[in-house]
Amino acid sequence: MKPAGNVLVVDHDVTRAQLLAGLVEDVGFNAEINSDLATAARTLQSGSIDVVLCDMDMQGLNWDEARRASREAYSKVPVIFFSEGGEEERMMRALRFGASDFFVHPIDDSRALQRSIERCVGQREVLRELERSQHNLEALNTELRGTVKMLEQDQQAGRQVQLRMLPATPLVLGDYVFSHTVIPSLYLSGDFTDYFTVGDHFVTFFMADVSGHGSSSAFATVLLKNLFARKRSDFLRKGDDTILSPVGMLKRANHEIKELQVGKFATMVVGVLDIKNNTLRYSIAGHLPQPVLVCNEGARYLRGEGSAVGIMDDPSYEEHMIDMPASFMLALFSDGILEILPSKNLIEKERYFLQVFEHSASAPEDLVTRLGLDHVETAPDDIAALFISKRG
């Protein structure tokens, strides 16, 4: 039968140590004898000892040094002291040292010694398990830190790619100025905006707010960027005018987001600005807040209805066409802006949002300052903003 644990008997009296070791082995444990403290210290360093049985009157035993050595190196190994006398003062000294138990030699009750050693072996095994768990946790933490660092590097690289996908800001086309800002809640953003010229006098733009955060949402923005770039190319090479149809682009976006099959959807605003005739065609796909038009007459929302893209197989969208004022600012935001507004509910937030436009100058920079976006480094949700201005 395999011994239940390893016991180190430390006693300068070899005959007495052998008798004690024999008793230890009789109750089912493996016993090893050391007759001096230096040898005992080396044996303990092996880590295989579960319990130490030590004579309190061991030659060369300095209690101050032994207590210090126990704290520094051997406090994890339980110690049972034995002595030829059972005086109270000797027992108290053993307990102050940190003894797990105390026996008077010769030991007549082998069953009591067995129970005491079993208890100490169990304690030692618990400590070993804790050491193993701590070692495993430290190894896992090291691995996790490496993984997190790698993910952060990947996210940072992805962030740089996403930033390079954004259009030039500002883009000046005659009297018209296009600009944007994007504040991600993480490295990558599920909010995206783009604008570009189509033909001689059209500018197509869109604002997209993809559900969720992180890599998968950012990947959906790459798909939308690619879709609009492809349809612009089709207009130039094939005469396909889908890129000039807000409804047509929303239907294509709906199809491609569903085909992606990653459980994502996006609210969107798509617009086509005719900078020759100063007219705007636009469609809204479940997007909040709705675009805000600011001019000399005040600020108002551009209304429109339609479901988010990527949800329904055959959604319907409204297309609106309006004549733009001689001088205006059109502002589009993702819904992350609503998270930083002070009002409590959506109706109050939309009312407050519109009041900010009514009391701010028409320049995008003033609006950004009024909303506090110039001081936001990280946001609870992604925030994207697109501004289109026309000087009178």
pLDDT score for 244 = 97
193 lies in a domain? yes
Q: Which alpha helices (H) appear in the chain, and where do they start and end?
A: 14-26, 37-45, 63-69, 88-97, 110-165, 214-238, 246-260, 336-339, 346-358, 364-371
Query: In this structure, are residues 27 and 73 in contact, taking their beta carbons and an 8 Å threshold?
Result: no
**Measured distance CA(155)–CA(233) in Å, rounded:** 30
pLDDT score for 290 = 93
Buried b / exposed e along 202-214 (16+ C-beta atoms within 10 A)? bbbbbbbbbbebb
- Both 180 and 239 in a single domain? yes
- Both 106 and 226 in a single domain? no
3-state secondary structure of 151: helix
pLDDT score for 350 = 81
pLDDT score for 273 = 98
151 lies in a domain? no
* Six-digit token string for 317: 């969208």
Q: Kindly list the distances between the CA atom of residue 41 and the CA atoms of 25, 52, 72, 120, 352, in Å, as whole numbers in the listed order.
A: 22, 11, 12, 19, 76
pLDDT score for 73 = 44
**Measured distance CA(308)–CA(286) in Å, rounded:** 5
Task: For residue 370, give every residue at least 6 positions away whose Cβ sits within 8 Å of its Cβ, in sequence order, or none.
Answer: 356, 359, 360
- Domain CATH for 130: 3.40.50.2300
Task: For residue 310, give every residue at least 6 positions away whose Cβ sits within 8 Å of its Cβ, in sequence order, or none.
Answer: 253, 254, 257, 258, 260, 264, 265, 266
199 lies in a domain? yes
Q: Kindly list the distances between the CA atom of residue 248 and the CA atoms of 145, 189, 271, 385, in Å, as whole numbers in the listed order.
A: 46, 25, 11, 23
- Domain CATH for 371: 3.60.40.10
pLDDT score for 365 = 72
- Both 180 and 326 in a single domain? yes
Q: Which of 294, 300, 270, 264 is closest to 284 using CA atoms? A: 270
pLDDT score for 265 = 92
Query: Number of structural domains, the chain?
Result: 2
Partners of 272 in beta bridges: 204, 281
Residue 303 has what DSSP assignment?
-
pLDDT score for 62 = 63
Kindly tell me the sign of the dihedral angle through the C-alpha atoms of 336, 342, 347, 350.
negative
Neighbour tally for 127: CB within 10 Å:
15
Count of positions (residues) in the chain: 392
305 lies in a domain? yes
pLDDT score for 74 = 45
- Both 239 and 384 in a single domain? yes
**Measured distance CA(254)–CA(311) in Å, rounded:** 7
- Both 171 and 130 in a single domain? no
User: If the chain, 392 residues long, is cut into consecutive pieces of 10 residues, what is the mean pLDDT of each piece?
Assistant: 78 90 91 87 84 81 56 66 80 78 86 90 85 86 78 68 81 94 73 93 95 78 92 94 97 92 89 97 94 90 92 93 94 86 78 77 70 64 87 76
**Measured distance CA(104)–CA(84) in Å, rounded:** 6
- Both 178 and 91 in a single domain? no
146 lies in a domain? no
- Both 341 and 236 in a single domain? yes
Q: Which of 256, 19, 85 is closest to 11 using CA atoms? A: 19
- Both 337 and 193 in a single domain? yes
The domain of 93 spans 6-134
148 lies in a domain? no
**Phi, psi of 56, deg, nearest 5:** -65, -25
150 lies in a domain? no
- Domain limit, last residue, from 85, 110, 134: 134
- Both 254 and 333 in a single domain? yes
pLDDT score for 376 = 62
- Both 219 and 364 in a single domain? yes
pLDDT score for 358 = 76
236 lies in a domain? yes
- Both 228 and 373 in a single domain? yes
Q: Is the peptide bond before 170 cis (omega within 30 degrees of 0)?
A: yes
- Both 224 and 308 in a single domain? yes
